[in-house]
Amino acid sequence: MTSLPTAEDLSRRAREAAERCGVDLAASAGDRPVTSPVNGEVLISVRWQSRSDADAAVRKATEAFGEWRTVPAPVRGALVRRLGELLREHKEDLATLVSLEVGKITSEALGEVQEMIDICEFAVGLSRQLYGRTIASERPGHRLSESYHPLGVVGVISAFNFPVAVWSWNTAIALVCGDPVVWKPSELAPLSALASAALLDRAIAETGAPANLSQVVIGGADVGEALVGNRGIALLSATGSTRMGRAVGPRVADRFGRSLLELGGNNAAVVTPSADLDLATRGIVFSAAGTAGQRCTTLRRVIAHESVIASLLDRVASAYRSLPIGSPLDAGTLVGPLISDSAYKSMQDALLAARQQGGEIIAGGSRRLAEAAPGAFYVEPAIVRMTEQTDIVRQETFAPILFVLPYSTIDQAIALNNDVPQGLSSSIFTSDLGEAERFLGPDGSDCGIANVNIGTSGAEIGGAFGGEKETGGGRESGSDAWRAYMRRATNTINFSGALPLAQGVKFDI
């Protein structure tokens, strides 16, 4: 049986890693316990900040904006380059904190920090490519163009399951775009946040950038709400549940602020008769059971052709039975713990509802290691065979439950893929080019991410990341997602000496 580390051991590792990143543990100490999902015991206690601390952080960041927006973008890039170097140097420290606070296995925690390094590199390049356009003017002696300018303070609210990468996607891009950042991290991962912020503070000090460019406010939903309502936040980038987005979106819209919402997903993979079932099995198992089912892009539904469903189910179920479940810090573990008892309860409730709605549990669902650590929630990832897409399948349950549904025509498969309120990620496993293109086309998957022959999770930073419908419509990270972080101006320059009006309008005086 896997043994779990002691509370003292985890606490020591957390303190040492945080201190190496530059966290002042005495200054951040307080009465709010941070529980490690690894053993269910208290890791450390931190001080939560208040709404007025959040307002003060926005004021400081606004002052920094006055200076930062006039710094040339490639010079702003030098700050992000330094941040990337420091992240590389402290990759293991940050990954340790991520594992301890949210239970990611070491390889995935290192991958999360690598994603931070990657987005820094992307943003440094971008700092020389914030291109506007020159547009053909209809008037002689006129030049029409678009320019992009810093927008203002960016507020970032992040979820527990990507406790640091999501901040970096926003922050690296915001900084090169000329925007300071105020961050409200998940209350479940304050040390990872303080460590990331300490590394950025160091980069700021070393490159001579304004001291208040980066602010982090540790606290609960009330601190997030303070950012949501603060008119000093020009762009509010909020990642979390659809419930949170439903509270945040209208409030930001009400003050005519900009929001970028990255919310829940309910991602499906279609497995067609021509699919390579070995490849599909590997893609499915990583996407569905990896991160213990706690990614926004986790595969939650397999829609398999009736001719392959039995064989696919056999393969996936057999892979599930051999998944190593245990401490995320142990080499070889592939499935770590759920974040909390409430995540475990929502998984059990969903399994019960699935049974009541006609589902048959094919594998998993039971708790593991409960005796070794009563406060930690390790589970066997579950597979549930359904005959139709019932209410419980259409909800996002943030735990490793994979629903498997049959289909007979590709139209039916695409309709099932799209018939959920969320629209984040999707994929098709096929060797049929026509089916693949159909899935990616205008009447195919309605998701922000549509893949062929890979699973639904594990996106690269180079593409714009986000989804449609109840996933919120936001796009972060690569491609041209940077435009959301800038103010666009259309400029008309008249060098003709005359004053011709557009559309041939005459207004002679």
From candidates 56, 75, 221, 323, binder to ligand NAD by CB under 6 A: 221
Min dist. Cβ of residue 263 to ligand NAD (A): 5
CA 159-94-463 angle, 5° bins: 55
The DSSP bridge pattern shows strands 486-494 and 142-150 to be antiparallel
Min dist. Cβ of residue 467 to ligand NAD (A): 6
Kindly identify the residues of this chain, within the stretch 423-452, that bind ligand NAD according to CB under 6 A.
424
Min dist. Cβ of residue 276 to ligand NAD (A): 29
Distance of alpha carbon 509 from alpha carbon 506, whole angstroms: 10
Min dist. Cβ of residue 49 to ligand NAD (A): 12
Distance of alpha carbon 339 from alpha carbon 398, whole angstroms: 10
Q: For CA atoms 253, 259, 264, 266, give the dihedral sign.
A: positive
Q: Which stretch binds ligand NAD (CB under 6 A): 11-19, 143-151, 233-241, 383-391?
A: 233-241
Using rule CB under 6 A, residue 471 touches ligand NAD: yes
Using rule CB under 6 A, residue 160 touches ligand NAD: yes
Q: How many residues does the chain have?
A: 509
Kindly identify the residues of this chain, within the stretch 15-54, that bind ligand NAD according to CB under 6 A.
none
Residue 70 token pair: 């006039």
One-letter amino acid identity for 486? M
Using rule CB under 6 A, residue 93 touches ligand NAD: no
Pick 39 or 267: Cβ nearer ligand NAD? 267
Cβ density class 379-408: b for 16+ within 10 Å, e for less? bbbbbbbbeebbebbebbbbbbbbbbbbbe
For residue 4, the 8-state DSSP code is: P
Q: Which stretch binds ligand NAD (CB under 6 A): 108-116, 119-127, 179-187, 328-336?
A: 179-187
Residue 127 token pair: 């700092």
Min dist. Cβ of residue 265 to ligand NAD (A): 5
279: how many CB neighbours lie within 10 A of its CB?
14
Pick 177 or 296: Cβ nearer ligand NAD? 296
Q: Where are the beta strands (DSSP E) in 13-94?
A: 29-35, 42-46
Min dist. Cβ of residue 351 to ligand NAD (A): 18
Q: Which of 136, 242, 159 is nearest to 471 (CA)?
A: 242
Using rule CB under 6 A, residue 262 touches ligand NAD: yes
Kindly identify the residues of this chain, within the stretch 385-404, that bind ligand NAD according to CB under 6 A.
396, 398
Distance of alpha carbon 163 from alpha carbon 185, whole angstroms: 7
Using rule CB under 6 A, residue 470 touches ligand NAD: no
| Residues 279-308 as x/- pattern, contact with ligand NAD by CB under 6 A | -----------------x------------
Candidates 41, 187, 225, 262; catalytic one: 262
Distance of alpha carbon 152 from alpha carbon 173, whole angstroms: 13
Q: Kindly state the number of chain residues that form the binding site for ligand NAD, as judged by CB under 6 A.
A: 29
Distance of alpha carbon 422 from alpha carbon 399, whole angstroms: 16
Query: DSSP letters along 480-509, please?
Result: TGGGGGEEEEEEEEE-SSS-PPGGG-----
Residue 302 token pair: 């397999």
Using rule CB under 6 A, residue 373 touches ligand NAD: no
From candidates 225, 380, 435, 470, binder to ligand NAD by CB under 6 A: 225
Decide if 138 is catalytic.
Answer: no
Using rule CB under 6 A, residue 159 touches ligand NAD: yes
From candidates 11, 39, 99, 161, binder to ligand NAD by CB under 6 A: 161
Min dist. Cβ of residue 111 to ligand NAD (A): 14
Q: Which of 291, 17, 40, 33 is nearest to 162 (CA)?
A: 291
Please report, as ranges, the residues that interact with ligand NAD according to CB under 6 A: 157-162, 184, 186-187, 220-221, 224-225, 228, 239-241, 244, 247-248, 262-265, 296, 396, 398, 424, 471
Active site residues: 262
